[in-house]
A and B are shown apart, each in its own frame.
Chain A
Amino acid sequence: MNWISNYVRPRINSIFSRREVPENLWKKCDECGTMLFHRELSENLNVCTSCGHHMALTPRARFEALFDGGVFVEVDVPEPVTDPLHFKDQKKYPDRMKSAQKNTGEKESMLVAEGEIGRTPIIAAGQDFSFMGGSMGMYVGNAIIAAAERAVELKRPLILFSAAGGARMQEGILSLMQMPRTTVAVQMLKEAGLPYIVVLTHPTTGGVTASYAMLGDVQIAEPNALICFAGPRVIEQTIREKLPEGFQRAEYLLDHGMLDRVTPRGDMRDELITIVRMLMGQSPAIKGDLPAPAPQTAPAEEAAKE
């Protein structure tokens, strides 16, 4: 109990008493500890209004802010075999899946969508760290392949937002096989001459970094995102020495030549529009908050006409 839960919350609850009130009105910044009001925080794309720290953002929330008018159409992802290895640790894999689905309201750890950003048709794929650590299994492989195929079909760029602890251990070797599998998807885009932009968000590690997340034509990261193959704890245990400040963070990688850019979340949309339109040979961007595309020109038809 603290002063906020004792004093502020009851007051706020009384103000909104006649309406459905979300469970957590206040969220504490993981970095500076400032209490942030939930609406202000989500309007700022989960970036702390006090210190600029980038907190996790689900793909759905990200896409709502990314696409014009918040409108996008989900791309179907083929369902993989459930629990291919009949994996059991302390819990059964299907039980872990069920609880992740219940907690997140999502089916799996990647969301693929098509729509327009600044009137620029794109395909976007977003990885959801809140769903079993965003881990890469057969579904993520299927999602990236579906995203690449759709991009090739509609001749659109693919923008991928990565966030994952790595491979999904519960799918054993099949999760490892998503490294070559997703690399084939990246090759499909390359051969079609379509841009593949990777936005690395906190954290992107392990087999995900060592495959599709490092193969973009342009590599952009969010500030302070942890991006690595082996995590800092594993390295400290191996080499038995303390790691330097900021090691494996986005800015450190930028300094070491591993990234093109580090861009704050608030500027990301405009930057993506600018880059994608140049790579696609399109006229300069229309930015700002745009309404949803007019319904009569459904994105798919428009691309087909081109």
Chain B
Amino acid sequence: MTNYLDFEKPLAEIEGKAEELRALARQNEEMDVEAEAAALDKKADELLRELYRTLTPWRKCQVARHPERPHCKDYIDALFTEYTPLAGDRNFADDHAVMGGLARFNDRPVVVIGHEKGNDTKSRIERNFGMARPEGYRKAIRLMELADKFGLPIVTLVDTPGAYPGKGAEERGQSEAIARSTEKCLQVGVPIVSVIIGEGGSGGAVAFATANKVAMLENSVYSVISPEGCASILWKDAEKMREAAEALRLTADDLKGLGVVDRIISEPMGGAHRDRATTVANVGTAIEAMLQDLSKKKGDRLVAERRKKFLDMGSKGLAA
């Protein structure tokens, strides 16, 4: 069963009717409903196009958080071979909100790191909904150092509501861990490419996305604060998330306009979750292109370019 978002309700009704008709026909072989059902399919398809042609920023947030959206693990399983997870920060624990290790991407060995949200109640709890603790960032730092030492490119997949706001996380230095991870991203002499596959939530995302090239799926979002958080602070009302999502400029188009994102990866009609295989393949194509762009560059040039990119960022605002 499809998991519909609130704004997809009219669509759910039409698709539900078509499904109902077909179910009836299965029970009663004399009934011929195909013409009618096909008409409903067509109507549903038109409505889907209409809805997704003009997604508001808030609706994009909803699509980006869709439970069936492909997550980090789906990309690793489909796009990488010989994935060998490497665990732990060598200090305290292994954070399951962050997955990573050695793998091959189109045959070349790489280090892949990403946030994993989980796809059912059990795995979501185990993955802490993709909210990393300091151990997660410290594991990432360790993996980046490994990549740097052996000259392997780094691919990061970003999908987190943000770093975990918990007691232990704070005691073990959440802010320091994020700061060091961002710092490590800026230091390594190997290519780093990053894809925002779902939610790019604040500092927790930057710690992985300080990359030479950053791509973003069409309906992903990347923001300094969640629209709900922003609304409760600036509007004093968390229900004003639609306005906040609008004001924050968190969509792929706006971020490309601001120079934060280098490339937008298109999603199938109706969002990544409606055709996961196509989405995963599109992301694979983008990663390959970004790695190829960087493959000829030497370490110091990669570092220098990465720094310049972030130093120059924001030198121009959005066009009026």
Listed in ascending order, the chain A residues whose CB lies under 8 Å from chain B are 80-81, 83-90, 138, 141, 145, 167, 169, 171-177, 179-181, 183-184, 186-187, 206-207, 209-215, 227-230, 234-235, 238-239, 241, 243, 247-248, 256-258
Contacts and interface: CB of A to CB of B under 8 A. Distances in A.
Contacts of B182: 179-180, 183, 210-211
A212 B176 CA distance: 9
B235 interface: yes
Nearest to A234: B165
Interface string B176-201: 10111011011100000000000000
A111 to B, nearest CB: 21
A180 B310 contact: yes
A207 B179 CA distance: 9
B224 A167 contact: yes
A258 B310 contact: no
B314 A80 contact: yes
B166 A238 contact: yes
B174 A210 contact: yes
Given A89-B235, A173-B260, 4 more contacts: A85-B248, A85-B318, A184-B186, A210-B207
Given A174-B258, A210-B179, A184 B224 contact: no
Contacts of B183: 183, 186-187, 215
B163 A229 contact: yes
Main secondary structure of the interface of B (DSSP, over half): helix
B250 A173 contact: yes
B223 A173 contact: yes
Nearest to A227: B175
Contacts of A171: 224, 314
B311 A181 contact: yes
Given A90-B235, A215-B183, A256-B171, A172 B311 contact: no
B255 interface: yes
A80 B311 CA distance: 12
B320 A86 contact: yes
A207 B170 CA distance: 14
Interface in B22-57: none
A145 B180 CA distance: 18
Most chain B CB inside 10 Å of its own CB: which residue of A172, A181, A234, A235: A172
B307 A84 contact: no
B61 interface: no
A89 B234 contact: yes
A207 B248 CA distance: 16
A180 B178 contact: no
Given A88-B247, A173-B250, A179-B203, A210 B178 contact: yes
A236 B28 CA distance: 57
Interface string B266-284: 0000000000000000000
A187 B225 contact: no
Interface of B: 163-167, 169-176, 178-180, 182-183, 185-187, 202-203, 206-207, 210, 222-225, 230, 233-235, 243-244, 247-250, 255, 258, 260, 307, 310-311, 313-318, 320
18 contacts: A81-B317, A85-B249, A85-B318, A173-B248, A174-B314, A174-B317, A177-B260, A177-B314, A179-B178, A179-B203, A184-B186, A211-B178, A215-B179, A230-B166, A234-B165, A238-B164, A241-B167, A258-B176
Nearest to B313: A177
Which of A145, A257, A258 has the most chain B CB within a 10 Å cutoff?
Answer: A258
Most buried by B among A176, A215, A234, A248: A176
Contacts of B223: 172-173, 176
Nearest to B303: A187
Given A85-B249, A176-B206, A210-B203, A229 B258 contact: no
A238 B165 contact: yes
B166 A235 contact: yes
Contacts of A256: 171-173
A229 B165 contact: yes
Nearest to B171: A256
Across the A-B interface, the 8 shortest Cβ-Cβ residue pairs: A84-B317, A230-B165, A209-B175, A229-B175, A89-B234, A210-B178, A176-B224, A210-B175
Contacts of A258: 173, 176
Contacts of A227: 175
Nearest to A204: B175
Given A183-B183, A215-B183, A84 B233 contact: no
A206 B313 CA distance: 20
Contacts of B235: 89-90
Nearest to B179: A214
B176 A173 contact: no
Contacts of A169: 224-225, 230, 233-234, 248
